[in-house]
Amino acid sequence: MTKLQLKAFVYQLLSFILLFGTFRYVAYNYFHQTGIFISILGFICVTLLGPKFMATKTKEGEKLFMKWIFLKGLREIG
């Protein structure tokens, strides 16, 4: 695993944790239920709406990119 692949993994993990906690909190307060339903709903929302980070090799070398449903195309990070 290269340095940029590790960085992409860490960004992906941090964004998932942050968004999952947010969606889970909002779903809990909105539906007023407990149990696995809230966690599954949060997981599905984060999987569909969360950004995707990837490290790819280009002509200039390895670069870190982000793809998100709310942004058109790929964005280069750093």
Mean predicted confidence (pLDDT) in 57-74: 92
- Rounded CA-CA distance 62/7 in Å is 12
Mean predicted confidence (pLDDT) in 43-58: 93
Place of tokens 């007023």: 32
Whole-model pTM: value is 0.85
Domain range list for the chain = 3-77
Task: Tell me if residue 75 falls in helix, strand or coil.
Answer: strand
What pLDDT digit, counting tens, does each position of 22-41 carry?
999 988 888 888 788 888 98
Q: Cα dist. 48→4, 69, 74 in Å?
A: 24, 8, 16
- Rounded CA-CA distance 39/78 in Å is 33
Tokens of 69: 């449903």
